[in-house]
Structure 1
Amino acid sequence: MDLFDHPENPIPAGGICASVTTRDGIRLRTARWMPDRGPLKGTVTLLQGRAEFIEKYFETISDLRARGFAVVTFDWRGQGGSERLLSNPRRGHVDDFSDYVTDLEHVMREVTLACMPGPHHLLAHSTGGAIALLAAGRLRTQVERAVLSAPLIGLGKIGGRLPQRIICPLASTLSAFGFGQAFVPGGKEKLEMTFESNPLTSDAVRFHRNEAVLSAYPHLEIGARTIDWLASACRTMNRFLAPDFGPALSLPVLIVASTGDGIVSTRTAERFARQTRSARFLEIAGARHELLMEDDLYRDQFLAAFDAFVSDTTVAARAGRSEPAVSSA
């Protein structure tokens, strides 16, 4: 397994790309870097969102290394350069989100903890944020803090989408009747969008850079979600909203959301943070869904929040005590 270079998106120097195989036999593409300069601050394990891939985060990897962090990242099963799960490799499929937790735990054990210096932190986007929350109980002794960018805690309303209370029972029913590996209704093999209509970022340069990488390396791309993916996402979101999930979470978490996000629900993420004593909440006005791909006006706010939260390694956090606070900006 390799990393792929592009003139608009060069590979950060010094990276080591390798495959690892999970306990259920799925090959994952991983990559790791040591920091550009000292003093060493530890390691950030970067968790992508759905349909993303390592190359999309080269800029963020460089930003983290310049701050003194080592970085580990990988492609989830079924996307990017990792092993695909269906005969049609374009279908964005997973049987259950617990399989993603298996991916994360395996990479943490075989790469992050085995090869990289502590302390350890997570930086996760969208679906990656949901997986970080699912795994938080088991990772609490391994990870100091987690920063979640627009985590998938509730669905947004982009494109006139049906409300979650209708979508989720429908996906569950279709999955139960054997349609789980089919695209969601209206789903296609390629996620086609123009910059003018995209709900992800207001930054044209970063949008077109990511499109150029996929044009050069189309095997990294996947299309729409499958029904099983959506049904599992719904089960996961229901777990987050259960009255006992938030109060049981002890890992210090910063949730950064945005007012212009139509992909996931910012208000649902805020409600989750308010019932979770170990969570803090920050809202960036005007930004869209992909905060790390956004215009510098918004992206710099996110990185400043990341810096402040990760560097605030208080005695209470290290001891595993909960931290109150829900803040907004």
Structure 2
Amino acid sequence: MYRHASEAGLVLPSGADVNLPYDGHNLRGHLAEIANETAVRGHVLLCPGFTEFCEKYSDVIQQFNNRGYNVLAIDWPGQGMSGHLGRHRMAVHCDSFDQHIGAMDRLIAAVGWQDRPVMLFGHSMGGHLALRLCQHLGAQVQAAIILSPMIVPPVMPVWMVRLITQSLVMAGFGRSYLPFTKPPALDYIRQFRPHNALSRDKAGYESQFVWFDDNPELRRSQPTAGWVHAAYDSCARTTLNKDWMAAIDCPVLGLLAGDERVVHKASSDRMLACLAHLTRYEYDEARHELLNEKPDVVADIWTRIDAFIDAVLAAEVKAV
């Protein structure tokens, strides 16, 4: 099933898919549990970013499994194997990010994790949703690890984007691409270019596209007008709200890219500072896809994650 990924030397998925009906479409999760139940240290909810899918995080899942953590990953509604919700097959659409929160609730219930303490791991849009899940799940969340989080998408001002996209939604174009946009050809976008916005590392950049050779259905590209409206609405209500951010009570590890061009960097810097229990580190020249960056960056990320988790668990023991 993953011949091309295997030949490319990528970590292949472990565990098993969880498929459920949700809002009239399939909802796909992926559950990877370690074999020795007595060695389980905890549970991780993995929140992928925009257009992403469970397979892309196979190496992350393996890293957490090796550390003693069971992992539940999700294909958000409209992404990966969780349905095509836009008018174009590759468009990413949702009416509200509340759909995504509900989808994670559905998966958590399906695997019986409702009462288990969890750690959240999220990248980009998944970082935004991880912060929302911190509030939504409350005391169930032990900590959150967010990489290049989408505090808000890059186009400003927020009020103008919301006004334009609301007009498009009301005019019946919510499930369509934004005017004058279309997905780039795969053969073009998969080629590494030194000044791309995602990664300085050629192997890391190109690896994410190999999965489409094994399963073209995984690919999505470009948001609908409705998705953009939903994203800005969610950010305006939550991660751009200082009081909302300050109310997040769990420890958060925020890892940021210095050369950030995919999400709005200034908003990330400003709003993450509102978190009450933040550990922050920035990789000066790194780009948005931190886990596809140069090997020294990736290695340092896992060193910092280990130190952060150890500190969280030590604090919990001390509190008891």
Compute the TM-score of the two structures, normalised by the length of structure 2: 0.87
Tell me whether 1:266 sits opposite 2:265 in the alignment. Answer: yes
Correspondence 1:37-56 to 2 at 5 A: 39-56=39-56
User: What is the aligned counterpart of 1:131 among 113, 129, 132?
Assistant: 129
Correspondence 1:1-329 to 2 at 5 A: 4=2, 6-7=5-6, 8=8, 9-13=10-14, 15-22=15-22, 24-35=23-34, 39-111=39-111, 113=113, 119-156=117-154, 163-190=157-184, 192=186, 193=189, 194-196=191-193, 197-239=195-237, 240-313=239-312
Kindly indicate whether the alpha-carbon contact (under 8 Å) linking 2:12 and 2:58 is maintained by their aligned counterparts in 1.
Answer: yes
| Helix, strand or coil at the partner of 1:224 | coil
CA distance, structure 2, for counterparts of residue 278 and residue 109 of structure 1:
28
CA apart distance, 1:263 = 0.4
| Helix, strand or coil at the partner of 2:312 | coil
CA apart distance, 1:122 = 0.9
Deviations along 1:239-277, one digit per CA (max 9) or x if unpaired, are 222232122222322221111110012321221122221
Kindly indicate whether the alpha-carbon contact (under 8 Å) linking 1:270 and 1:281 is maintained by their aligned counterparts in 2.
Answer: no
Partner of 1:324: none
Count of paired positions: 310
Any stretches of 5+ residues in structure 1 without a counterpart? 321-329
Letter in 2 for 1:290: E
Kindly indicate whether the alpha-carbon contact (under 8 Å) linking 2:43 and 2:69 is maintained by their aligned counterparts in 1.
Answer: yes
Change over 3 Å in CA distance of 1:319–1:137 after alignment to 2: farther
Any stretches of 5+ residues in structure 2 without a counterpart? none
Kindly indicate whether the alpha-carbon contact (under 8 Å) linking 1:255 and 1:269 is maintained by their aligned counterparts in 2.
Answer: no
Letter in 2 for 1:182: S
Deviates more, 1:4-13 or 1:42-51: 4-13
Change over 3 Å in CA distance of 1:283–1:112 after alignment to 2: farther
Kindly indicate whether the alpha-carbon contact (under 8 Å) linking 1:189 and 1:223 is maintained by their aligned counterparts in 2.
Answer: yes
Kindly indicate whether the alpha-carbon contact (under 8 Å) linking 1:52 and 1:75 is maintained by their aligned counterparts in 2.
Answer: yes
CA distance, structure 2, for counterparts of residue 65 and residue 163 of structure 1:
41
Q: CA RMSD in A?
A: 2.6
Counting aligned pairs with the same residue, the percent is 26
Letter in 2 for 1:219: E
